[in-house]
Amino acid sequence: MPQFQIIILNESSGDMFPIAMDPDEMVENIKALIEVQMQIPLSQQNLFYESKELQNNDTLITRGVGNNDIVILRRSAPARRPQPQQQPQMQRRNVLDGIDILNINAQQLQQLFRQDQQLMQQLPHTNPGLLQAINHPDASRIHQFLVPMQEKERQNRRKAELYKRLEANPFDVEAQKLLEDEIKQKNIQENMENAMEHTPESFGRVVMLYIDAKVNDVPLKAFIDSGAQMTIMSKECAQRCNIMHLIDERFQGVAKGVGTAKIIGRIHLTIMVIGNTHFPITITVLDQGGMEFLIGLDMLRRHHCMIDLKQNCLHIGDEKPKFLGEGELPSHIRTENDLSAHDQVSPGPAAHVPVSSSSSSTQVNEHLVAPLVEMGFERELVLEALRFSNNDLNLAENYCMQKKFGM
């Protein structure tokens, strides 16, 4: 979408400033540029177009702002600050004042803090975790805190450089774009940190829905998958259940989901036992391993099943089998793929049927494990973080810090 410009009219001074922007730019980002160019704090800015105030999450295009249109800037009075309390005799100072954080190692930082009693007295109130690391005989513990501090300093320096460029040339489109990206990444990072704090379960691995069942008196762990069109079973599982002789090979075909699998045929009717109740089911048999037995939407509909996540059970007939916890599943199932993807196809002889298959958990880059373990994180936490971050070392480190220290 081509860039255009808007004219910012300062209502109090009458000054006008053109700003080059994309028409789909958010108002919040425009205010950030105004803060740089006009030295007006973002919190004091109120933008109006056609007598209506523009909200931070509005975009220019959605509010009908056109090329070279005038947007009025009305500055609100700054919020009154509360009177400062009586300052203690010892004035606190930033613990990083005077420290070139980008050119210091863990041992040097430890020594610097230990030699400054004023800083050591501040740490119990400002960063008790860092205080423990400084007092620990192993200086490598400080590395866990030093790395994120260095990354924050790099970000601050990049942002300061962008501000300088914009002050020198308010029409520097490249600098405007870079600043927008900085703001965007900051918002994304804050969003992730809020999610880690308020919904940490969203970063864990979800245990899929399995129940205990029997087919031809053979105990199985049945995977409940309402996203799969057909109920399927692997060839090996069908052999173990002694039902291979029931397969109708006229219903051969290819199942397509994530990847493909050959359909050996169809078992039109066999009995599945859940609890004390017998249920007639139809099974499509695949010539592959992996998922042993999956109850798809066809059988869930036939037996009027209800997936009850509040009670953690499946309602099927008069039975309410509990969904199995991760510890109740065999090891080969626990290492199965976590997420399912399905294709919808028409049933029929030699037809394509969807296979519940999932994208594998991210393959961990072993070269990234050692640096994080050396920082003091447990290997299991490191592996979890690398899988979550798709082998992004910085994101994995932030993940470990959140999990271990709540930072």
List, by residue number, the catalytic residues: 225
Query: Concatenated DSSP letters for 55-83?
Result: PTT-BTTTTT--TT-EEEEEEPPPPPPPP
Distance CA 372, CA 320 (A): 44
Distance CA 218, CA 113 (A): 66
Alpha helix ranges (H) inside 115-172: 117-126, 128-135, 140-168
Q: Which residues contact 286 (CB under 8 A, 6 or more apart)?
A: 232, 233, 234, 235, 255, 261, 262, 263, 264, 355
Query: Concatenated DSSP letters for 176-196?
Result: HHHHHHHHHHHHHHHHHHHHH
Q: Give the CA distances from residue 296 to residues 145, 224, 233, 312, in Å, rounded to whole numbers and listed in that order.
A: 49, 7, 10, 18
Closest CA to 9 of 77, 74, 78: 74
